[in-house]
Amino acid sequence: MVTIELRSVSKSYKKIKAVDNVSLKIKDNEYFILLGPTGAGKTTLLKLIAGLIKPDSGKVYFDGKDVTKLAPDARNIGFMFENYALFPHMSIYDNIAYSSRVHARDKNQTKTIVEQVLMMTLLTGRNKALPKEMSGGMQQRVALCRALMNLEQTKTLILDEPLKALDAGLRMSLRRELLQMAKSAQLQLTVVHVTNEEQEAMMVADKIAVINEGKVMQIGTPYEIYYRPNDLFVANFLSEINCFDGTCLKDQEPTWDIHSKSKRGDKFFAELQQDSYPILVDLGPSKPIATYIRKELYEKFEHGTKVLLVVRANHIKIRLGDRTVEKRNSLFGRIQRRKFMGAFYRFEVLCKLNGTEKLIIISTLATSEIHKNFVENSEVTVYFPKELGILFEHPGEEYIKEVFKLE
């Protein structure tokens, strides 16, 4: 069993606060992802967990035991960091087998495990090569092999962008392998894995911690982070979003039943409605917008609170013509640009809002109907189900600019 806990951990490099008062708990056998942009402090956090650096303040616990002062070797973990640090004069086989000495494993057993990890990373047959004879992606896989050698003993795997330099196909297959290995009944690993790719995070994580500027912005399951982000930065990091300035209409009686459950008995929407409450938002046009928000947020908002409504591009639906009378949460507009992205189309639709024009981004599955009929200049209605809006107290223009890297 391995649980990991950080309590109020901070680490600075001169004036840079790389990790700023971080507390988090990682459960036994949890696949835990640290997700964030470049320079967010993810590697520093991982090094603090591995014991490669010591915090300025705060404590690190493994299985409830304070390991803050323990050296990496004494923490009993398998780790792989971004700068692979392979031994240049040693063959690939020896690089991978090296740690077997520490674990006093016999030669035949070592050979079997090295062959297994080489096969998994598609490196079979390259065991005699030297690191300099391998590509960057191959060296990275060798470093990954090395981290995977002793998992039966260590049970903890610490990975810093382990799939970064790989092509898309290999990355996908290694994600599957890593997940399978972590969850295998035999190993049952606790994994801490750093990435800046949201898709990688969503695919493998039990839990995700979104990190920005040394701080944990949110910790949750992929589902929670995606559907119930607690901050604009988190919402925007996971997929393309649309933002609307609005005012909360808490005291206004809706002219339709905003409490209605999904007509089709949609279990998914019903789940999103749980522990949430519908609220009206005035965005300017005559019809207010309705959206579900968590009860604790609902209680915080007052009539007239300035809010920011966020809707993911892939949650907005698109129909031909003006359907704004029949569709709630809708706007009328014209397709300005469409791009074929393979599995989906990405539309930029210019809508009228508050006497000005607002560009709305929509991504929708690339069906033949979309391909044929939704061409540039078509008049369309865009709308979203009330379960899929995300509402924040307005964070101010400065923060919005910061999140979207404007100016």
Residue 18 or 97: the one with the smaller Cβ distance to ligand ATP is: 18
Alpha carbon distance 164, 166 (integer Å)? 6
Among 100, 121, 196, 273, contact with ligand ATP (rule: CB under 6 A) = 196
With binding defined as CB under 6 A, does residue 195 bind ligand ATP? no
Residue 193 CB, nearest distance to ligand ATP (Å)?
12
With binding defined as CB under 6 A, does residue 50 bind ligand ATP? no
In three-state secondary structure terms, 51 is: coil
Residue 114 parent element (H or E): helix 107-120
Among 6, 36, 228, 272, contact with ligand ATP (rule: CB under 6 A) = 36
Among 9, 30, 42, 311, contact with ligand ATP (rule: CB under 6 A) = 42
Residue 185 CB, nearest distance to ligand ATP (Å)?
32
Alpha carbon distance 404, 397 (integer Å)? 11
Q: How far apart are the first and last CA of the chain?
A: 48
Alpha carbon distance 331, 310 (integer Å)? 15
Residue 49 CB, nearest distance to ligand ATP (Å)?
12
Among 4, 9, 43, 149, contact with ligand ATP (rule: CB under 6 A) = 43
Residue pair 26/200 in contact by the 8 Å Cβ criterion: no
- Per-residue binding string, ligand ATP, 165-194, x by CB under 6 A, is ------------------------------
Quick one: which of 120, 119, 123, 98 has its CA closest to 110? Answer: 98
Q: Given the rule CB under 6 A, which of 11-19, 299-307, 344-352, 395-403 is the region that contacts ligand ATP?
A: 11-19
In three-state secondary structure terms, 299 is: helix
With binding defined as CB under 6 A, does residue 51 bind ligand ATP? no
Question: Site for ligand ATP (CB under 6 A): how many residues?
Answer: 12
Instruction: State the pairing for strand pair 4-13/389-393.
Output: unpaired
Among 44, 95, 212, 276, contact with ligand ATP (rule: CB under 6 A) = 44
Q: What is the DSSP string of 321-358?
A: S--TTT-SSEEEEEEEEEEE-SSEEEEEEEEEETTEEE
Residue 36 or 333: the one with the smaller Cβ distance to ligand ATP is: 36
Residue 402 CB, nearest distance to ligand ATP (Å)?
16
Q: Given the rule CB under 6 A, which of 12-20, 88-96, 197-205, 249-257 is the region that contacts ligand ATP?
A: 12-20
Q: Given the rule CB under 6 A, which of 13-21, 65-73, 167-175, 367-375 is the region that contacts ligand ATP?
A: 13-21
Decide: residue 135, CB within 10 A, 0-12 exposed, 13-18 middle, 19+ buried: exposed
Residue 50 or 331: the one with the smaller Cβ distance to ligand ATP is: 50
68 Cα distance to chain centroid: 28
Q: What is the DSSP string of 205-266?
A: -SEEEEEETTEEEEEE-HHHHHHS-SSHHHHHHHS-EEEEEEEE-TTPPPSS-TTPPPTT--
With binding defined as CB under 6 A, does residue 18 bind ligand ATP? yes
Q: Given the rule CB under 6 A, which of 33-41, 256-264, 275-283, 355-363 is the region that contacts ligand ATP?
A: 33-41
With binding defined as CB under 6 A, does residue 41 bind ligand ATP? yes
With binding defined as CB under 6 A, does residue 72 bind ligand ATP? no
267 phi and psi, to 5 degrees?
-65, -35
- Where along the sequence are the contacts to ligand ATP (CB under 6 A)? 13, 16, 18, 36, 38-44, 196
